[in-house]
Structure 1
Amino acid sequence: MTVYVDDFDVAARVGTLSRRWSHLVADTPDELRNFGRRLRLPLSWIQKSGTPLEHFDVTSSVRRRAVALGAEPVDYVRMQQVIAKKRLAAAHAESA
C-alpha cells in the first residue's frame, strides 16, 4: 500500500488560508486516515470521503513533511493515474 502526494501546488483560498495546495491520496481509506493522523491532520479535512477521489488538501509545508514520513511524491499526471486505478477497483467491487 502507498500514500502519494502530488506536485499540483495550486494557489487557492481554503477558509481563511491563502496557500499553495497539493493532494495527499492513499491506496486505501484506512491508510489515508492513518497517514493523516501521523501528519496531525484533522480527519474532518478529508475531501470526497468514501469515494475513489478521497484525499487531503495539503499545503507545501505539509507536503514536505508527508514526503519525509514516506509519502511517494508524484507529478499531477501520475496522481491522475493513481485515481483512475482506484476508480476502476471501486467499479469492479460494485459489480462483484
Structure 2
Amino acid sequence: MTVYVDDMEASYGRMVMCHMLADTTEELLAMADKIGVQRKWMQKAGTHHEHFDIANSKRALAIAHGAVEIDRAGLVEILRNRRAAMSASKEG
C-alpha cells in the first residue's frame, strides 16, 4: 500500500499545489497527519477520487515520509484502479 504525490503545479494564491492520494483512506489520513495537513481538507472523501490538494512544501514532507512521486499518467492509472476496486467491493 502506498501514498502518492503527483507532479501537478497548480497556482493557488502564492502557493503551488499538487495532489496527494493513497491506496487506502487510512494511509492517506495517516500521511496527512504526519505532514501537518488537516483531515477536514480531504476532497471527495469516500470516492475513488479521494485526495488532498497540498502545497509543494507539504509534497516535499510527504516524499520524505515515503510518498511516491507520480506523473499525470500514473495518477490516471491509480484512479482507474481505485474505481475498479471500489466497484468490485460493492458487487461482492
Instruction: Report the identity percentage.
Output: 34
Q: Tell me how large the CA RMSD over aligned residues is.
A: 1.0
User: Once superposed, which parts of structure 1, at least 4 consecutive aligned residues long, lie more than 2 Å away?
Assistant: none
Q: How many residues align?
A: 92
Partner of residue 89, structure 2: 93
Residues 1-96 of structure 1 mapped to structure 2, 5 A cutoff = 1-12=1-12, 17-96=13-92
Superposition TM-score, scaled by structure 2 size: 0.94
Q: Deviations over 1:36-95 (max 9, x none)?
A: 100111100100011111101011111111111110011111011011100000011111
Larger relative strand fraction: 1
In structure 2, distance between residues paired with 1:2 and 1:76:
17
Superposition TM-score, scaled by structure 1 size: 0.91
Could you tell me how far 1:18 is from its partner in structure 2?
3.9
In structure 2, distance between residues paired with 1:89 and 1:78:
16
**Structure 2, gaps ≥5 residues long:** none
